[in-house]
Amino acid sequence: MVSNEIEYKRKNLIQVAKEHGINAEITLKCSQELDMLLLKQIRESIKKTDLLKKSKYN
């Protein structure tokens, strides 16, 4: 499930930032990976919403 991945990546990002600093390449990469997971969750949510709307009107 995406929410579990997001929570794991968020905790990982915090740890990496503490160890390497917020401008370190590894921190930025981790942040980008978290962004991608969040975007994936948003897209899935939009799809579900669209499907619910369609089923209401059909």
Q: What tens digit of pLDDT does each residue of 5-42 get?
A: 999 999 999 999 999 999 999 999 999 999 999 999 99
More confident residue, 51 or 7: 7
* Six token digits for residue 53: 């709307």
More confident residue, 56 or 18: 18
In whole angstroms, give the CA distance from residue 4 to residue 21. Answer: 25
pLDDT at 57: 63
Name the amino acid, one letter, at 17: A
> What is the residue extent of each domain of the chain?
2-57
- Write down the CATH number for the domain with range 2-57: 4.10.280.10
pLDDT at 58: 57
N residues, the chain: 58
pLDDT at 48: 84
